[in-house]
Structures are given as structure tokens and as C-alpha cells.
Amino acid sequence: MEGRPHEAVDKGPIASNSRPNYFRSALQNGEFVYTAEVVLGRDHNAGEAEKFVKEASGHPEGIKVISLTDLPGGNPALPPEAFASYVFEHNLTPIAHLSGKDGNRSFLEGRLHALARIGVENILALTGDAGNEGFAGKPKPVHDLDSVLILYLLRSLRGSVLGESEPKVACTPFDFFAGAVVNPYKVREPDLLMQLYKLQLKVAAGAQFIITQIGYNLRKLYELKQYMAREGMGHLPLLANVYVPTAKIARMMQSGKLAGCIVTEEFIRSLEGKKKPQRLERAALMVAAVEDLGFSGAHIGGFGLSHADFMTILERASAIGKDWRGRMDELIFTYPNEFYLLPLGQDGFSDATGDYQTTRTKPHPSFVQRMSESIYCHAIQDGSLGARFFGTRLKSQATTGSWRHRLWRTLLAPSTFYRKAALGCISCGDCMQDHLNYVGCTMRGCFKELRNGPCGGSRVDGTCEDRPEQPCIWNQIYLGALAVGDDPKKFAHILIPARDWSLDRTNALVNRFAGLDNAGKRIDFAKITKDDNSC
């Protein structure tokens, strides 16, 4: 364990409750950090988790950062805020996962206040898996805030003012250290590019460290690192997820039961018949590789692993050191015709100096797309005839309910029929179809009703995590943007605010002209406006 960071003590910023934050300070000091993912189950008696924490605390060179899951796999479970104090009591540092799938924005904010109150700075923001069976059946999905919007909420809580509208709400600032997840293992171009764009949006929204999804293709991790460096994110701490699966768990990942994990048949075969020491050795190899490649840390997990197993991984990784390069065949498992962002280099990795291999062919726009784009350009977007005519009339009378206001609303009523018939509109009243190039409504077409890019859960063939019979709509949106000559990279820098539920079941076009919807509240982190698009 010589040269490893475990002896380090906190030198980082002091949170408002004066608890040391080893995780943040070690990353700031450039140390390679190990985190252990401890899965909290459906029981308040977290005996296994307690045992792990006790053992880690008692080991002078043990794991110092405990990452606590938030209702993982879509199952009911003990939340991280119920266990973080136990981690603190054992002089370790918690990372609390916070997923938007089970609670709305108010509940999530309340949970963040609770986490701040017990001194938890490190928050990993997640959209969350689709729900599994809960008490008396499948639970109601919430997904009010996606991971990007949770990061933006965290950013607001770091300051002292909450909310965009007046009167603004003041609260005691808390120095959250916000993390995001990225899935760099996608095998198709739309899935992969949309993941990378969403990562950029997460960083713009406030992510301060990044942890990858589970995967077994080191070339993809290498590409992620190159992409982050090229796109101005190279300064952010990047931790590789090193999960130790059995063949059975890998098979579950492949089947989609563990969402978003890309696992090849060859990788599963490599695990068959392997005992624990061999599986720990493979994990150690990956830890050695990512440390040598300049990652900031390894986020280690695995069903039934003891703290002693973790120490075996760390010790073997230290012994392997730079020799991992002679064992690349154990680290890169690839699909036939898998899409890579960069061309193949000479060392088995991608060529870091190569151009992005994104598609140069333009798909055909659908009839609905062409017609809707044309209507938008000529009648809806700012400065168009329709916007000028209805805007002046509806903006001045948006809340009056006068007969004139009712007349203009009645004239615009047929637009709802068009949106429903052509675009699958559910009348959320806060439309973002122009941003999606009229490919379809994610309030209906995305199981998680996401507004800022895909979750990490799409399957190898590009279908939805929860609805394998249909494509992930965000892949279609990527292709749809290309089809109409737009740049899908806009999804890397334009943040769509959380849906305004006061507009539910109202006419989105009226709301747009009246200035009530999200159009004026979108945040373009690159300062690019819709006006730049050619219509």
C-alpha cells in the first residue's frame, strides 16, 4: 500500500458544520481516491453495511470514502441520510446518492436540507432507475427533477438564494460537493453522443466530480478522458466505476435487469467458473489501469464483498502497477461494429489525436418534423408574425381572463389537437418541442419524462430501459436534430428548466405567446440562441 493516499488527512474546505471532507480534499490534492459503494437494502437493520464501515474504520489503510446508494435498482431501501451519521461516527466520509425518481423537487430539496444538517457535503446526483415492485405493486414514478436539474438545485443551495421567480427564497448556504454519473460504454453513436453531451450539461449545471457507470471496456474509459480534456472538462476529478460481478450478475446486467450496464457475451464467458480471488484480480487490474491512465480514483463495488476483499484489490492493484498494459485482453470487451468516438490507435486504445468519428450522413426528416419546424419558424418563434400578433395581446392580458383574452385562447385551441395528433402531446403546457426539433414529446415518449437528455439506461440496441419494445426517444431526437440540420450538441449546453406544473393541462401555445412557459427561462450555457438557427 506504499504511496497510496490513505494516510491523508483532511485539508479541504470546512463545511458549515465543520466536519472534515476527506473525499473533496484528497481529490483537490491530486491523490488517487478509493470509494466503496455500499448498497443499502430494504431494511432499517443495515447489518452488512455497518460491518463494512466498522472494518474500514478499523483498518489504518482502509477505505475512507463510503458511497451510499439511494433506493438502488428501483427498489425500496434505506435512504443514505439514514446511514450517513453512522459513517461519520466511524471517522469516514460519506457520499450520498440522490435520485429524482421517487420524490418531487420539494421532497428532494427537503432531503438536501436534511443531508446538510448532518454535514453531508458529497452528493451524487442521479436520475434513477425505473421503479421495480414496491409495497402492493409497482410504485408511481415521479421523476420531477432529472440529474441535471438536481445538480442545478445543488448549485442554488450552495448560494443562499433559491428560485428564479420573485420573491426569491433565502436559505443558509451549504457547501455541497456535487457529483454526476456518465455512461461512456454505449455501443451506438446516438446513445454515446447523447451521454457525452449530457455530461457537459451536468458540468455546466454544477457537477464538480464525475463517476462512470459500470462497464468493462477500458478503451471507452480512455475515450471519455480524451473527450473531457478536449471539451474543457479535463480539470474535473473523474472516478472509474470498478464493479466486481459474478457471471450470474453479469448475465443480469446483460438482460437489462440492472439498467444501463453494457456487458458482452465474451466478458460473461470470461467470468464463468471463476472464483472470488480471480474476480478480485480482474478488478485490481482495472484499478491499476485507471490509476496509470490519470483517473482521479476508483469507485469500487460488488455484491457480497467484504472490506478485506477491497484491501485485496488495492494491494494487488499496487503490485500490478504499470504492468496492466500487458493484459489488455482482460480489460477491453467490445461489441461487433461498436461505435467509438475516436479511431483505433496503435496501442489497443483510441487515437487521442484523431478526429471525432461522428456521422456525416444526414437522416431524412419526417413530414411532421418538416411541417412543425416550418410552423415554428413562421408563426411561433420570437419575432415571427404569430408571436408578434398573439404575444402583444396575450402578454398584456395573461392573467386578466377578459373576453378578449378568452377569444385569443379560443383561436389558438386547434393547436392542441395538432400537438396531440402529430407529436403525442400530453398537454403539460410547458412545451419544449422546438428544442427537440419536433421528433416527439419526451413527456410521453420517455418513461422518465426527461427534459435534459437521456438517462444512462438505454439498452445495447438503443431501446428504452423500461420499455424494451420502443427506442429510447433521445436517440431519435439526436437523429432528428441532424435530420433538420440542427446540431445535437445543443443538448450539451442548453438547460431546460423543470416543468412548471401550474401550466398542467393548459394550451402550450397560449403559454408560449403569453411568456409563461420555459422558453424564456432556458439557460444557454454557451450563450447560443435559437436565433442562430436557420429556419
The footprint of ligand SF4 (CB under 6 A) covers: 446-448, 450, 454-455, 457-458, 464-466, 472-474
Inter-residue contact 143 to 449 (CB < 8 Å) = yes
| Residue closer to ligand SF4 (CB basis): 143 or 489 | 143
For ligand SF4, give the closer residue by CB, 274 or 444: 444
> In whole angstroms, how close is the CB of 128 to ligand SF4 at the nearest point?
10
Residue number with CB closer to ligand SF4 (208 or 476): 476
| CA–CA gap between residue 195 and residue 181 (Å, rounded) | 10
> For ligand SF4, which is the closer residue by CB, 140 or 235?
140
What is the closest distance, in whole angstroms, from the C-beta atom of residue 194 to ligand SF4 in the complex? 9
Using an 8 Å Cβ cutoff, are 373 and 363 in contact?
A: no
- Host H or E run for residue 415: helix 414-423
Q: Give the dihedral of Cα atoms 142, 145, 146, 148; nearest 10 deg.
A: -170
Work out how close the CB of 433 gets to ligand SF4 at its nearest, in angstroms, rounded to a whole number.
16
Is residue 443 classed as helix, strand or coil in its secondary structure?
A: helix
Decide whether 70 or 465 has the Cβ nearer to ligand SF4.
465
Provide the CB-side half-sphere exposure for 103 (13 A, CA). 16
CB of residue 130 to ligand SF4, shortest distance in Å = 7
CA distance 358 to 340: 9
Closest separation in Å from C-beta 462 to ligand SF4 = 9
Shortest Å distance, C-beta 3 to ligand SF4: 41
| Residue from 261, 232, 15 nearest 122 by CA | 15
Q: Which is nearer to ligand SF4, 218 or 446 (CB)?
A: 446
Instruction: Select 202 or 448, whichever has its Cβ closest to ligand SF4.
Output: 448
Kindly give, in sequence order, each residue whose CB lies less than 8 Å from that of residue 395, ignoring residues fewer than 6 positions away: 513, 514, 515
Of 46 and 455, which has the nearer Cβ to ligand SF4? 455
User: Given the complex with ligand SF4, which of 461 and 504 has the nearer CB atom?
Assistant: 461
Report, in Å, the least distance between residue 140 CB and ligand SF4: 15
| Cα 217 from Cα 460, distance rounded (Å) | 14
| CA angle centred on 472, ends 468 and 477, rounded to 5° | 160
Shortest distance in whole angstroms from residue 459 CB to ligand SF4: 8
Whether the CB-CB separation of 455 and 448 falls below 8 Å is answered with yes
431 vs 429: CA distance, rounded Å: 6
Tell me the C-alpha distance between 520 and 513, whole Å. 11
What is the Rg, in whole angstroms, of the alpha carbon atoms belonging to the chain?
Answer: 24
Return the number of the residue (240 or 473) whose C-beta is nearest ligand SF4: 473
What DSSP element (H or E) covers 260?
A: none
DSSP collapsed to 3 states, 171-232: CCCCCCEEEEEECCCCCCHHHHHHHHHHHHHHHHHCCCEEEECCECEHHHHHHHHHHHHHCC
* DSSP of 70-95: SSGGG-----GGGTHHHHHHTT-EEE
Nearest distance, CB of residue 245 and ligand SF4, angstroms: 22
CA distance 76 to 485: 44
Q: Which three cell numbers stand for residue 68?
A: 451510499
Which of 372/442 has CB closer to ligand SF4? 442
Smallest separation, CB 59 to ligand SF4 (Å): 39
| The residue to which cell 454505449 is assigned | 186
d(CA 440, CA 446): 10
Least Cβ distance, residue 496 to ligand SF4 (angstroms): 14
For the CB of residue 436, give the shortest distance to ligand SF4 in the complex, in Å: 12
Is there a cis peptide before residue 76, judged by omega within 30 degrees of 0? no
Q: Residue 183 or residue 533: which is nearer to ligand SF4 going by CB?
A: 183
Q: Which is nearer to ligand SF4, 119 or 256 (CB)?
A: 256
Q: Closest distance between ligand SF4 and the C-beta of residue 138, in Å?
A: 15
φ, ψ dihedrals at 495, nearest 5°: -100, 125
Q: Are strands 238-243 and 177-182 parallel, antiparallel or unpaired?
A: unpaired
Q: How far is the CB of 446 from ligand SF4 (least distance, A)?
A: 3
Sign of CA dihedral 221, 224, 229, 232: negative
Toward ligand SF4, which CB reaches closer, 141 or 348?
A: 141
Segments of 293-390 assigned E as strands: 297-301
| Residue among 70, 43, 39, 42 at smallest CA distance from 52 | 39
